[in-house]
Structure 1
Amino acid sequence: MDYETVSPADFGRALRGLGLNLLVRDVARSAAFLEAAFGMQAHRLSRDFAIVEYGGARFQLHGDHTYGANVLLGMLPEAGPRGGGIELRLYDSDPDAAAARAAAAGGQVLAPPRDKPHGLREAVILDPDGYAWLPSCPLSPEETPQ
């Protein structure tokens, strides 16, 4: 599917399985952060919407203003972080490289890269809207802390 030319209706009809849509204050800012910090690729980027691709998966960004009649609009905070309680995990991202790029891209490293007992090296990075992104890579059995 060519994400740059597919019609909204054809794109919608092609969606299957689990979908992810992040409501953001500024689509261009969010797409630029995801590209700079994690190497994601944004398609169909507009003030209203973007299709974002990472590791063979795709998800969507929608600007708050596009949700005028949506029941979720009233639940969005006017200020402060969003997405409390959700972790957006990026299993094929170098957490050290992402953490190094995140601040320059407008994010905040909430937890620096660390080796974890569940076999991953990971960091916690908040994007400009406050969503928590966790870039991680697998550890060898020898590297995994007990």
Structure 2
Amino acid sequence: MQTIDFSPFYRSTVGFDRLFSRLDNLQEAKSYPPYNIERVGEDAYRVSIAVAGFAQSDIAIESKENGLTIKGAKAPETAEKAREFLHRGIAERAFELRFQLAEYVEVTGANLENGLLHIELKRVLPESKKPRQIAINTGTKSLEDQAAVN
């Protein structure tokens, strides 16, 4: 795997350190557990994670600032519950997935169904960030004159 050294950019830029840190983090390949990211609407998204063998109590989801963290860990087996595998193809090892969320993207819910954990996300823009129409005045009155009348 090819790695890129961003250290020369750290020395010659100001204020972009967060950008280069994100690029450094992108190089880490996340392969377990497998997951999908899909767009399910104009401003709605879903992250689906294959968590076969994990119960709802084994999984923790945390949304903090612009990040989403999903952790899964099974309780260690006791001697009385120990199983003997002839073939073990379903991994039950602990995992931690981290996703960087865009501004105004919020987690709206999570659902564990048929071995898949679905996390619903939605972009919710505040009213101040939504586009708005600006009326065009056609009279000869200035804005100050209109304010004085009102």
When the two structures are superposed, what TM-score results if normalisation uses the length of structure 1? Answer: 0.23
